[in-house]
Amino acid sequence: METYKKRIDECTDLESLFSIWKEAQSKEENYSLTFPGKGTLPIEFRNNWTDDGYLSDSRENTDILFILKEPNEQGAIDKDDVKVFGHKEFWIKNNINNFKSTICRRAYYTTKELISNELTEETWVYKAAIMNLNKRGGYNHTNNRKITNYVKKYKDFITKQIEIINPKIIVFMCGVKYSKEIISILDVSKYEVYCAPHPATWGSDCDYLKKREKHSTN
């Protein structure tokens, strides 16, 4: 991604960064290495994109950033219609108070634990952001090797998004073990970092929170 490095460095907001990122995705060669599954999806899947980032329109004082693997695009993929590949809205932000969603609920409880127990279901969003590593998305069952390939290819973009959001704390919700693998690729040494199970992990919310580990980035 050296071609885009100067333009990435000049970005000061997510909109400009995402514009360049989508351009890079659309021109990606050897895309079968980053496409989900066996890499047999049509070339149009290069353009698939899901927004993410701030959970509120207020972009100041974002204390905590949750990092996920990728959005679930199983439904779009199953349609086998290239017309469904393209720009998607930030589903989590639009459904952030849907606490039937384990992602929303467990991110909320984690924010209360790590930031302030006084935060409510209405106010926690002003302190939090959520991003996916792979913006294209994938199947119900993630192929970690493909995610790793994507992260290595787009790490300058990923690192810049983190820098723009500028959180105090980062929680990788990619599975404790796999989160450590991703952290080894990215430069997150200036942040307080935690590794957490995937938010859909079976069990109670209380058990989920206990499995979170603080990561030493020294």
- The phi and psi torsions of 118 (rounded to 5 degrees) equal -80, -10
CB within 8 A of 93, min separation 6: which ones? 51, 52, 54, 55, 130
Contact 66, 173 (CB under 8 A): yes
What is the CB neighbour count within 10 angstroms for residue 4? 18
- The phi and psi torsions of 171 (rounded to 5 degrees) equal -120, 110
Tens digit of each residue's pLDDT (9 = 90 or more) over 51-90: 999 999 887 789 999 999 999 887 776 766 666 777 788 8
Average per-residue pLDDT for the chain: 91
2-215, CATH topology level = Uracil-DNA Glycosylase, subunit E (3.40.470)
Please indicate whether residue 91 or residue 49 has the higher confidence score (pLDDT). Answer: 49
